[in-house]
Amino acid sequence: MANNSDKPVVLVTGASAGIGDAIVRYFARNGWNIVAVARRQDRLDKLVADMKGVADVATVVADVTATDAPQRAVDAAMERFGRLDCLVNNAGAGKWAPPAETDDATIDEVIDTSLKAPFRFGREALRVMKPGSSIINIGSVFGMLGGLDGGIYCAAKAGMIGMMQAFACQYGAAGIRSNVVAPGVIRTEMTDAAWDAEPFRRINHELTPCDREGTVEDVAATVFFLASKEGSYINGQTIALDGGWS
């Protein structure tokens, strides 16, 4: 039974680790209730425990590529809170390889996770969103500028930008905004193994004209700004969050 929450509600995919975890915690600290979608029950349970007394967190254990995942997640928001104010499509597949070395299974995995799932979650969220809501997609600067060995990853993230612009044009007049936050390389479990490798450092660290590395908190703060009243005239944009790398 929905409690028709007075607090705004954000649905975050890939919510239990890295950037997704940081986004959940940032919104929670700023007075939002949460619908957290992730594949691992144990990590979602920890998130709920950590947020006790800070925010009400509904969890959905699901792979975002599952046929029923978008409806289950949106239904969880409506059943628990009676509203959905922001969707953050954060879950993605970080598979990198040159095009000539990319097999069909990898193509399908990356497209299904990083493009098809965000489209389907957005489509489902539109069913219940009211004016003033927003959809924020976590892309990559490598969707703006193709990268060496980027292959299907770059293609999917570029597709996300086109998808976002279509949503922004179609539904902006109804008061539902869509944007992409495009981080550079942020240190998470996904990138940690390569972080200190010499080629990685040359391409990412040495070519970034900023005096520090980006953090998951940087991403979370930008996402929150786009969802907030202060960001309410931003629509159809891709925000490069990369210290100037692009």
Residue 206: Cβ-neighbour burial (10 angstroms; 0-12, 13-18, 19+):
exposed
* Domain layout of the chain by residue ranges: 9-241
pLDDT digits (tens, 9 = 90+) for 105-135: 999 999 999 999 999 999 999 999 999 999 9
User: Taking the domain 9-241, which CATH number applies?
Assistant: 3.40.50.720
Contact 139, 222 (CB under 8 A): no
Q: Starting at the edge strand that comes first in sequence, how are the strands of the sheet with 177-183 ordered?
A: 57-61, 33-38, 9-13, 86-89, 134-138, 177-183, 238-241
Cβ distance 210 to 243 under 8 Å?
Answer: yes
- Cβ 22 vs Cβ 99: under 8 Å: no
Please determine, for residue 190, whether its predicted confidence score (pLDDT) is greater than 90: no
CB 121 within 8 A of CB 70: yes
- Which residues are part of the catalytic machinery? 153
Separation of alpha carbons 10 and 34, rounded Å? 5
Q: How confident is the model at residue 2 (pLDDT cuts 50, 70, 90)?
A: low
Residues 24-78 have pLDDT tens digits of 999 999 999 999 999 999 999 999 999 999 999 999 999 999 999 999 999 999 9
* Residue 238 DSSP one-character state: E
Q: Which amino acid is at 149?
A: D
